[in-house]
Amino acid sequence: MDTKTLTVALIGAGNRGQGYTNIMSESNRFKVIAVAEPVKEERDYIKNKHGIKDEMCFEAWEQLLARPKFADVVIIATTDRMHYAPAMRAIELGYNLLLEKPAAPAAEECAAIANAAKKKGVKVLVCHVLRYTPFFGKIKQMIDEGKLGKVLSIHHMECVGNIHQSHSFVRGNWGNTEKSAPMILAKSCHDVDMIQWLIGSPCTSVQSYGALSYFKRENAPEGAPERCIDGCPYAETCHYNSVKLYLEDEKNLWFREAATKDKNPSNERVERALRETQYGKCVFKCDNDVVDHQVVNMEFANSAVASFNMCAFTYNGRFIRVMGTEGELTGDGDRNLIEYFSFKTREHETISTSDKLMTGSITDGHGGGDRGIVNTLYEYLTVGCKSDLLSEIGISTENHLIAFAAEKSRLEHRVINMDDYKKEIGLI
């Protein structure tokens, strides 16, 4: 049987948009035929990578979506606050969507996208990529098979990494709530989604604590300049010296490309970025306001509870402990290792999911989740797939609400009842 090729239009050609479309280019299941991106270097990369015609390359999403529907699916991988408008317009035109998380930075906007998609009859898959990793997929399988009995408690930890925090959530696009979204939404909404998915029951109440404690102006060493490149006296000892991270470390292409919006940029280009962009600023003197550590406690309708801990001051990785009536498991998402203990046999079992990664590499995007969601998108739009796997917009909106409620709890220092919260924002 011949493989159906789905045509794709990309809105937002930054790191995430490039990642998804690069995976799509590896087979004949997808063909990227259009791109909208204001940054010329990123737009040209997609154009050249996929052989897109000049007339199908646009600076603005409005230009792309001004045309009648011409593709099977639109990928929206813009910055967080630029998801809602193009998503609503694309749905109006009848496009299926692959929508980067968070779906939108406001609960009402998430609900509006879900309602519009249902009314129009289009499919919207939100990029909660953790669901699509072999690692978390195996944990879900073990729970569904009853190996843990009834799951009563989950402890999940996201170790952001101190350097990743400084790059993305201090200097980068996700450091300021007004420009992006709160940390629990921008960074961790797919962790929250994953927890709810594993437990399989509605969340009934949320409590959260956290703060921005370190990456702020009052903690800047005396005499530190606004930009690292301007001769900081602490250059040799500072973990966050942008000259070392972006200019001197030529192998760190992710950082260098983010700072310059260019593939394989020259040192001259990087140096200019450190003098002109936020990536060159002292890490204590940026406009960031998102938290650098946070805990979220959740209670579910089936009496299960969960705790989520996000912290910048780590190396990296995700770690999980799932506790049930018939056993428990601990998981190291960075190493793709699961340790299972059965209460019945009193035996330990070690399970590796590294061999299940689609590229055979544990460095694959989000532990194989990027590739997993692209593969699932194809099945979703062609032959269908298991509904309990899908992070479709209706389910995603419910799980986004947990993140919104967590941030409300953090700011107001109180427990948030989910039904009361939904009534407050007019969703029930």
Whose tokens are 């929508």? That residue is 99
Tokens for 168, please give them.
Answer: 């993305």
- Look at residue 427 and tell me whether its pLDDT is greater than 90: no
| Residue 358 pLDDT greater than 50, yes or no | no
Give the pTM: 0.93
Topology of the domain comprising 6-126:
Rossmann fold (3.40.50)
pLDDT of residue 360: 37
Q: How confident is the model at residue 364 (pLDDT cuts 50, 70, 90)?
A: low
Residues 6 or more apart whose CB falls under 8 angstroms from that of 399 comprise 128, 189, 192, 193, 196, 197
pLDDT single digits (tens) 186-221 = 999 999 999 999 999 999 999 999 999 999 999 999
> Which CATH number does the domain 130-215+289-366+392-424 belong to among 3.30.360.10, 3.40.190.170, 3.40.50.12780, 3.40.50.2000?
3.30.360.10
Q: What percent of the chain has pLDDT over 90?
A: 92
Residue 354 has pLDDT above 60, yes or no: yes
Pairing assessment for the beta strands 96-99 and 124-126 based on DSSP bridges: parallel
Residue 256's contacts (CB-CB under 8 Å, 6 or more residues apart) are: 246, 250, 265, 270
Q: How do residues 253-308 score in pLDDT, each as one tens digit?
A: 999 999 998 888 999 999 999 999 999 999 999 999 999 999 999 999 999 999 99
pLDDT tens per residue across span 315-327 = 999 999 999 999 9
H and E: helices and strands count for the chain: 15, 15
Q: pLDDT by residue (tens digit) across 385-411?
A: 877 789 999 999 999 999 999 999 999
What secondary structure letter does DSSP report for 210?
E
CA atoms within 13 A on the CB side of 158: 24
Task: Give me the sign of the Cα torsion angle 372, 375, 380, 386.
Answer: negative
Domain boundaries, the chain: 6-126, 130-215+289-366+392-424, 226-280
Is the Cβ–Cβ distance between 370 and 16 less than 8 Å?
Answer: no
Q: Is the pLDDT of residue 99 over 80?
A: yes
